[in-house]
Amino acid sequence: MPTLPIYQVDAFADRPFAGNPAAVCPLEAPIPDALMQEIAAENNLSETAFVLRDGNAFGLRWFTPTVEVDLCGHATLAAAFVLMTEIDPARTEVTFRTRSGLLAVRRADAGEFVLDFPALAPVPVDAETTARVARMLDATPAEVLRAPVGTLLAVLADAGTVRRAIPDLAAVAQTGTSLCITAPGGDESRPVDFVSRYFAPAHGIPEDPVTGSAHCILTPYWAARLDKTALRARQVSRRGGELSCALARDRVLGDRVLIGGQARLVISGTLRY
Q: Comparing C-alpha atoms, which of 194, 242, 250 is closest to residue 74?
A: 242
Q: What is the DSSP letter of 72?
A: -
Distance (Å, whole) CA 122 – CA 149: 9
DSSP string, 180-224: EEEEE-TTSSS--SEEEEEEEGGGTEEEES--TTTHHHHHHHHHH
Residues with active-site annotation: 47
CB atoms near residue 38 (< 10 Å): 14
Distance (Å, whole) CA 265 – CA 16: 8
